[in-house]
Structure 1
Amino acid sequence: MVGVGVLGLPYAMANLGWGPGVVILVLSWIITLYTLLQMVEMHEMVPGRRFNRYHELGQYALGERVGLYVVVPQEVTAEIGACIVYMLTGGKSLKKFHDTVCSTCKDIKLTYFIMIFASVHFVLSQLPNFNSIFCVSLGAALMSLSYSAIAWAASLHKGIQPNVEYGYKAKSTSGTVFNFFSALGTMAFAFAGHNVVLEIQAKIPSSPEKPSKSTMWKGVVVAYIVVALCYFPVAVIGYWEFGNTVEQNILLSLEKPVWLIGMANMFVVVHVIRSYQIYAMRVFDRLETLFERKLNFKPSTPLRFIVRSIYVVFTMFMAITFPVFGGQIGFFGGIIAPTTYTLPCMMWLAIKKPTKYSLSWWTNLACIAFGTCVKILSDIGGLRSIIVKARDYQFYS
């Protein structure tokens, strides 16, 4: 559950301000925990049936065709968006590592580091399934906890910077408003992960005496305790130290100790390698199914190699074209928001049918309203941020 979105939380706080920032951070943690537990409950809500994929649950709740058309496009765009962000994050972290440990070396453009990071995925993408990247996943879990701890501990050790300011970053009213919108997406991106929860639960044995939800519920609670221990200190301490001068990635604001910051950036690289593959594997499955069932291609190694390599090239191209971490994470955070805040509540209302005006009914409606606002506003703010940054950026330089 702990993703690279944690590194953008101090920057989001700088655009939200202390009051709104803390409130939205806590609200996001509470709402996404609530919706995640609802999905765990709905996995086996129908006796004798397990909904192992997000769209399967959507089809049961909203209807075969409507559920498919509502859920799948949002799933796919969320997965592709996450891969693009991870591609950019991996390249930026590699560049930061190079610049940190070899400050006297010749400057190398970000484009080349993104290409280096992409080269790893040309190999890993040929692995057949999730189980094949178990070792990478185990290492990445440890890396995510480590770089989060380094981010807030190094910030705390460095102390408040001279002349720190906590006012909004933008100087104009319009800039402040749009940055606020984009920051909502950054918060939403940090709490993404609901897309794969049903597939994870599907691998847990289940029986009438011990349903899978009992084990999964414990796992979710532990995961969210860890999320709180990682996210809250990074967001609050990072903003407290740097104020509105904090970088879009908190590790880019830290310089010393050199060995520790360099190590933290490599931890990020290892983590996003796994994160990229987790989301990419789902896209690969969809693409290969499309070619095999709709276009009558035979399953083969050449097909897998071509389809997956083209996808890696596409995400690499997008990361190189729009290397704006804050704008990307805000924009794609808005795209991901419905799968995290909104859809689980809509499906709960459709399947569980709580009594009208009951606490459950009002709570789910409130979550839907909150998620809808986050989606619309963060997409507007994130897109505007990308456009503004693109004015001064020399493409493919």
Structure 2
Amino acid sequence: MEERPEAELISIPATPIVSTPEILTPSGLRSPRSTFISPRFLSPIGTPMKRVLVNMKSYLEEVGHLTKLNPQDAWLPITESRNGNAHYAAFHNLNAGVGFQALLLPVAFSFLGWSWGLISLIIAYFWQLYTLWILVQLHEAVPGKRYNRYVELAQAAFGEKLGLWLALFPTIYLSAGTATALILFGGETMKLFFQTICGSSCSSSNPLTTVEWYLVFTSLCIILSQLPNLNSIAGLSLVGAVTAVIYSTMMWTLSVSRKRPPSISYDPISSPSSTASLLSVLNALGIMAFAFRGHNLVLEIQATMPSTLQKPARVPMWRGAKVAYTLIAACLFPVAIGGYWAYGNLMPAGGILNAVFAFHSRDIPTGLLSFTFILVVFNCLSSFQIYSMPVFDSFEAGYTSRTNKPCSVWVRSGFRVLYGFINLFVGVALPFLSGLAGLLGGLTLPVTFAYPCFMWVVIKRPKRYSFNWYFNWILGWLGVAFSLSFSIGGVWSLVNSGIKLKFFKPPS
């Protein structure tokens, strides 16, 4: 059979051919007007036009995609600068992921024991790593829209009013509450540093009181908070990340290298009744949940990065987050395991830092101990900045929406000074705040463990009754149930431990 010649390729017009009526000549042949699809006819005009359209498409993909921004975003601290990268993401996530809450993990082990302590720590770590991945993906889930703040994503998933009510309180509390706790912890650590350096000569002089140390620490925080936006504090986050890794390593190294107390025991701290034991375990799990906070900052960190269709921000964000959370695991697991191995159920309620000072203050060189304290102070100063940035952003968003102009340097500075002294006032009024880790972990747990799973189902809409659908619904509702249970355990621990709610009476 004779082989037919290969058909010639013909350009396909943008509109269907049937949309142009066919015109015939008197001889019955096609009119030349129907041959407008010929490459020979299009080459003088079509090629330059096509080049223009291709270039325009590329420009829109590179510049226009995902940049439908509210003009107000260019005035706010979180979205003012978009030159972030994977390194900045690693610094910010590590600074936010390791802090003084990590030093409380051995306290949770003293109530859970070895088996349940390790199981709970592993589950909590991988659970929060999964929800972190969800938030990174949902930041640009809708083409042409970036969810730059946790509350914005909650409103997109749950509705304007419900999303605001569900997300506003825990995220604001995680930011402002953590900043207040950092003032208390940082001020007390500064006092310990001064006492360690000064030694016996401090008793003959007139040392600063605890409240005065709070004021010193707050003043330093306010000075550093004058940096304008989230990208501008990347250097501080690097300092916070490095100091967190160093002092976490020093804490567990000093603990395991010294002789353990003779009366040490690894039996979980017992309670007089089974109900009390259960509530103690729930409070311990709440302490562990509080150590895995920081998801209220994920979307904000990703918002500082440029994003296009070809180079979405989720790629460098996830790259930086993987590095950060590898280092976070290298800090949290040794602190929890090493601290519990060294002190068992003798672990003080204040965590491993208090245990090192209580058991080894005499056999550890003064210079090494004071160096550890100053590292903790630097980390608290750096963490204060990143946790306060969402609150600064909220203040300035309210101002710019009313005045329709950016904040001046004096207005921005005034907001931050006011915020710092409000946190100082709350810390002095509620000096027992740092002892409520279990309760606070329960109240803020949904931000990290529950809401992201619900957001994924609502926005991504996985196939109904599929594994993905069931998995996220189950994780989300488990997070809600744990939140309620841990909160109840935290309240019980507050009552059972006899924490005295002495308002405006910080330690001397």
2:267 to 167, 173, 177: 167
**Structure 2 counterpart of 1:289:** 397
**Structure 2 counterpart of 1:124:** 224
The residue type equivalent to 2:355 in the other structure is S
**Structure 2 counterpart of 1:147:** 247
**Structure 2 counterpart of 1:112:** 212
1:276-300 CA-partner distances (Å, limit 9, x unpaired): 1112121122123324535899844
Q: 3-state DSSP class of the match of 2:385?
A: helix
**Structure 2 counterpart of 1:242:** 343
The residue type equivalent to 1:289 in the other structure is A
CA distance in 2, matches of 1:386, 1:301: 43
Over the residues paired in the alignment, what is the CA RMSD in angstroms?
2.6
2:140 to 41, 44, 48: 44
Compared CA separation, residues 97 and 120, structure 1 to 2 (3 A): same
- Identify which range, 213-222 or 4-13, moves more after superposition: 213-222
Unmatched runs of 5 consecutive residues or more in structure 1: none
Query: Contact 1:182/1:331 (CA < 8 Å) preserved in 2?
Result: yes
1:18 to 89, 96, 114: 114
CA distance in 2, matches of 1:343, 1:96: 39
Query: Contact 2:131/2:453 (CA < 8 Å) preserved in 1?
Result: yes
Q: 3-state DSSP class of the match of 1:36?
A: helix
Compared CA separation, residues 292 and 222, structure 1 to 2 (3 A): closer
CA distance in 1, matches of 2:390, 2:345: 37
CA distance in 2, matches of 1:214, 1:182: 37
In the alignment, structure 1 residue 223 sits paired with structure 2 residue 324: yes
1:249-296 CA-partner distances (Å, limit 9, x unpaired): 311211223322221221111111111111212112212332453589
Matches within 5 A, 1:1-397: 1-104=97-200, 105-106=202-203, 109-169=209-269, 171-173=271-273, 176-247=277-348, 248-254=350-356, 255=361, 256-294=364-402, 299-324=407-432, 327-386=435-494, 388-390=498-500, 395-396=505-506
Query: Contact 2:428/2:504 (CA < 8 Å) preserved in 1?
Result: no
Compared CA separation, residues 356 and 370, structure 1 to 2 (3 A): same
Percent identical pairs in the alignment equals 37
The residue type equivalent to 1:115 in the other structure is L
Q: 3-state DSSP class of the match of 2:260?
A: coil
Q: 3-state DSSP class of the match of 2:500?
A: helix
CA distance in 1, matches of 2:240, 2:311: 30
Query: Contact 2:185/2:434 (CA < 8 Å) preserved in 1?
Result: no
The residue type equivalent to 2:468 in the other structure is S
1:361-388 CA-partner distances (Å, limit 9, x unpaired): 2321232233223322333333444552
- Identify which range, 269-278 or 118-127, moves more after superposition: 118-127
The residue type equivalent to 1:196 in the other structure is L
The residue type equivalent to 1:246 in the other structure is M
CA distance in 1, matches of 2:116, 2:187: 31
Pick 1 or 2: higher relative contact order, CA cutoff 8 A, min separation 6: 1
Give the structure with higher Rg (CA). Answer: 2
The residue type equivalent to 1:361 in the other structure is W
Shift of 1:392: 8.0
CA distance in 1, matches of 2:161, 2:266: 49
Unmatched runs of 5 consecutive residues or more in structure 2: 1-96
CA distance in 2, matches of 1:281, 1:295: 21
Query: Contact 2:392/2:415 (CA < 8 Å) preserved in 1?
Result: yes
TM-score normalised by structure 2 residue count: 0.72
CA distance in 1, matches of 2:425, 2:433: 15
Shift of 1:190: 1.4
CA distance in 1, matches of 2:231, 2:160: 30
Shift of 1:32: 0.2
Compared CA separation, residues 131 and 216, structure 1 to 2 (3 A): closer
CA distance in 2, matches of 1:43, 1:302: 32
The residue type equivalent to 1:184 in the other structure is L
Q: 3-state DSSP class of the match of 1:17?
A: helix
| Number of residue-to-residue matches in the alignment | 397
Q: 3-state DSSP class of the match of 2:226?
A: coil
The residue type equivalent to 1:27 in the other structure is I
1:326-384 CA-partner distances (Å, limit 9, x unpaired): 63322322232111111111100101122333222232123223322332233333344
CA distance in 1, matches of 2:144, 2:302: 15
Compared CA separation, residues 15 and 316, structure 1 to 2 (3 A): farther
Query: Contact 2:181/2:434 (CA < 8 Å) preserved in 1?
Result: no
CA distance in 1, matches of 2:163, 2:342: 46
